[in-house]
Amino acid sequence: MSYLVTIGLEVHCQVKANTKMFCACRTSFGDTANTNTCPVCLGLPGALPVLNREAIEKTLLTGLMLGCGSPEISKWDRKNYFYPDMPKNYQTTQMDLPLCIGGGVPLYDHCYPTDVRKNIVKPNKIVRLNRIHLEEDVAKSTHLGNSSLIDFNRAGTPLMEIVTEPDLESGEEAFAYVRSLQMILQQGGVSDADMEKGQLRCDVNISLRQKPDEPLGQKVELKNLNSISAIRRAIHFEIQRQSEELDRGIPQIQSTRRWDDDRGETQLMRTKEDAHDYRYFSCPDLLPIETAPLLEKVRPLVPELPHEISKRFERDLGVTSYDASVLSSDKHLAGYFEAVTDPAIPGKKVANFIINNLLGTLNERSLGIAECPVTPEKLRALLILVESGALAANQAKEVFAALFDSPENNPASIADSLGFKPAEAGELEGLVDQVIANHPTEVDAVKAGNEKLLNFLTGQVMKVATTKPNPKQVTEMLRARLL
């Protein structure tokens, strides 16, 4: 039997801030365990929290980027539960008056898994948000068979929880949602959103029903998924699991499950608590905040978002929709592309070289665009040589490869060292005439309409040339002589 799938996501994102949410301990990744701690983030008796203004402002900036509203007053609450990674036995969070309400996240087509991009069910979909609230992260637990280790360096790190409405319908949409959200968060500088470093984690709420007019099925929550591919695979498994049980007449119960990546299956952790089980109440140690002054401060910081950059690249620089989406997917890449562009070079040619050559080379070397040794100015100079006819496209690839390894050199000098020197017009004409005289059979065939043999004659000119002239220039000269 087929079922309608309803999915909501809760994305936990570490805010890019210098210090923790309620204390002055610095945020870090990879430091020696339990070195960035104090009485506040260790939950020692009598320690009082102090708000991190930077984290609040960046959360409000996130809300503006995603079209959220904000209440006039936002307040702090305690969520009470016992777990070893939260020594206070409560988490300071926000319940009924979060910093951001509503809004939405656009699903960018190029953020879907590669294998489904040509068959996107609902292109240009926007996933509605319910809320974004700010809280403190918990410590990191490492389980070792019969024992566990806890590192409190992460405890207290500012953490945004971005909660969707139940608008998603597949693992592929969830995949696209997380990638699209990542891009927006990185564009605004509010988070590096690196899942490998634990800066972005995701809980998935999923339920099945038979008909659209039926109430939503019982919600099953999948906890702490820490890679985009795991989110997709876990959803696929859970849809299959619930479908098979419903087909056998086994009703689903509200529960929490974990994803075992090695086994490729979800496993029951517990039946799910409701909000009242956490006994939320207002935090007595923190005053509510007025959002209006903070919103006015961060409003000018709202950046151009990836889809806005993409449209501008298409409109102003003449690149294709696909190229624009790739180039706008990373703020460093978008900035690099714009720095290379020049009135002397068509934007499409700049985009092609960056996507097909530069990104390919960076991939091979496991480097990001921010680590690229070739400056935009050097790449622009190389592409101008191509556009002026001094270099052929294939020659430019060789020059670029040498430039990547020796970025202190300039493209023109590298081209010279490789023998890519434009021949003098008189010298080139003489070589063309010589080849025409030496190959009468091929010349006659070209004159009879077999233009493919122009490539053969071009090759012959390149062989006898002392330098390596632009093959395109040679071909055009032959064409002018023979046709």
- Judged by DSSP in three states, 2 sits in coil
First-residue to last-residue Cα distance in the chain: 68
Residue type, 59: T
Residues 74 and 133 sit within 8 Å (Cβ to Cβ)? no
Do 165 and 258 belong to one domain? yes
Average pLDDT of the chain is 91
- Condensed to tens digits (0 to 9), the pLDDT of residues 214-268 reads 999 999 999 989 899 999 999 999 999 999 999 999 999 999 999 999 999 999 9
Q: Is the pLDDT of residue 278 over 80?
A: yes
Do 44 and 68 belong to one domain? yes
Encode 375-399: b = buried (16+ Cβ within 10 Å), e = exposed. ebebbbbbbbbbbeebbbeebbbbb
Do 85 and 27 belong to one domain? yes
**Residues 8, 462: Cα–Cα separation, whole Å:** 62
Do 150 and 272 belong to one domain? yes
Do 281 and 385 belong to one domain? no
- Condensed to tens digits (0 to 9), the pLDDT of residues 395-414 reads 899 999 999 999 999 999 99
Residue type, 89: N
Q: Where are the alpha helices (DSSP H) in 264-423?
A: 292-298, 306-317, 321-327, 331-340, 347-353, 359-364, 376-387, 393-405, 411-417
Task: Give the model's pLDDT for residue 418.
Answer: 87
Do 95 and 165 belong to one domain? yes
- Condensed to tens digits (0 to 9), the pLDDT of residues 27-82 reads 988 899 999 999 999 999 999 999 999 999 999 999 999 999 999 999 999 999 88
Do 58 and 185 belong to one domain? yes
Task: Compute CA distances 354 → 32, 339, 376, 382, 461, whole Å.
Answer: 39, 12, 10, 12, 31
* Closest listed residue to residue 239, CA positions, set 229, 226, 228, 252: 252
Do 281 and 384 belong to one domain? no
Do 275 and 133 belong to one domain? yes
Q: Is the pLDDT of residue 202 over 90?
A: yes
pLDDT band at residue 423 using 50, 70 and 90 as cut-offs = low
Do 252 and 396 belong to one domain? no
Q: What angle do CA 421, 427, 430 make, to 5 degrees?
A: 135
**Residues 408, 456: Cα–Cα separation, whole Å:** 37
For 470, phi then psi, to 5°, come to -65, 115
The H or E element containing residue 233 is helix 228-247
Domain harbouring 429, CATH code: 1.10.10
Task: Give the model's pLDDT for residue 434.
Answer: 78
Of 299, 334, 358, which one is at a domain's C-terminal end?
Answer: 299
Structural domain including 373 reads: 304-417
Task: Give the model's pLDDT for residue 453.
Answer: 81
Which of residues 109 and 428 earns the better pLDDT score?
Answer: 109
Do 151 and 286 belong to one domain? yes
pLDDT band at residue 466 using 50, 70 and 90 as cut-offs = low
The count of domains in the chain is 3
**Residues 241, 244: Cα–Cα separation, whole Å:** 5
* pTM attached to this predicted model: 0.85
Do 341 and 430 belong to one domain? no
Of 400, 417, 434, which one is at a domain's C-terminal end?
Answer: 417
Of 417, 440, 466, which one is at a domain's C-terminal end?
Answer: 417
* Partners of 345 in the β-ladder: 342
The H or E element containing residue 10 is strand 4-14
